[in-house]
Structure 1
Amino acid sequence: MDSDHESDDRPPPQPSVPSQDPYVYTLQSGRQATSAKVCRDFVACVLNSVGQEELADVATLCTSELATNAFLHAEGDSVTLRVVIEPPRCRVLVYDASAELPTAARLPLGDRLYGRGLGLVAALADAWGTAEGDVAGRYAKGVWFELAVKEEGGHN
């Protein structure tokens, strides 16, 4: 029996049914000067891969702010980034080892180059906040933001 004949006996492939489960993507990064770029590139790649390209600009800016804060102010040698896509929202979390919770301060006076990050996240995201550390106990807290996702064709 040749292989062409065998393939004719197989049932036709069934179209995939989109999962109702959330899509979760995780990246662990060293706490380094390059962490913010690595994290924002990861978020852009995930959103572009699952049909949520229109969220990429805002999501990468907000991710960059959270990852930069973890690099500048957190403890430990790494951060974990988690992207959870569960319509109607996309939630991005950055976990770090510092137990100190961030606050969105008013814009700083003068020409200071820092202190604006969480204010930007608060202005651009649909919601933001803090979460308890990861279940493994490696990280003390997470800082997250959410953006609304489109429902139709939201995942591939």
Structure 2
Amino acid sequence: MDSDHESDDRPPPRPPVPPKDPYVYTLQSSRQATSAKVCRDFVACVLNSVGQEELVEVATLCTSELATNAFLHAEGDSVMLRVVIESPRFRVLVYDASAELPTVARLPVGDRLYGRGLGLVAALVDGWGTAEGDAGGTYAKGVWFELVGTEEDEGRP
């Protein structure tokens, strides 16, 4: 066996350098009562896999709020969840088919059950807002939040 052939069978001596582009993870879910759980579990899995465990609690709470709002107030048959990692920033977007933009209400009057969620999201995250829908026209808008985590080790997102 010649030495050139042997070197072709070996793994590279160093891991590849990670790309500078963001890491994007996408999940499409039917719009139903279980959507919030599916979305928050997906976000927890992504964060745990990229070493941002300290963000899981806040991120899953806020994801649950956005997915629940899409289930309760939106239109269409599905929601799309997009997780974007541009270390150390972590962004979650929940897209739905309703063109109506959300608003943060002041504290609800009395014992009203609804209206506190986006205020809670706004208080917990480093930024939040709305985004235009997808290019294909399936989703009319997205609602997003962003958290800033810790810098990652070299070779990880």
Q: Compute the TM-score of the two structures, normalised by the length of structure 2.
A: 0.90
Query: What SS is found at the alignment partner of 2:123?
Result: helix
The one-letter code matched in structure 2 to 1:55 is L
Matched, 1:15 2:8: no
- Could you tell me the percent identity over the aligned residues? 81
Query: What SS is found at the alignment partner of 2:61?
Result: helix
Q: Which residue of 1 aligns with 2:68?
A: 68
Q: Deviations over 1:92-118 (max 9, x none)?
A: 000000000001111212222211110
Q: Which residue of 1 aligns with 2:39?
A: 39
Q: Cα gap change, 1:19/1:8 in structure 2, threshold over 3 Å: closer, same or farther?
A: closer
CA RMSD after TM alignment: 1.7
Q: Compute the TM-score of the two structures, normalised by the length of structure 1.
A: 0.90
Q: Deviation at 1:140?
A: 0.3
Alignment of 1:130-149 (within 5 A): 130-149=130-149
Q: Deviation at 1:136?
A: 1.3
Query: What SS is found at the alignment partner of 1:131?
Result: strand
CA–CA distance in 1 between the matches of 2:112 and 2:11? 63
Instruction: Give 5+ residue unaligned stretches, structure 1.
Output: none
CA contact (8 A) 2:126 2:147 kept: yes
CA–CA distance in 2 between the matches of 1:58 and 1:104? 18
Q: Deviation at 1:12?
A: 4.8
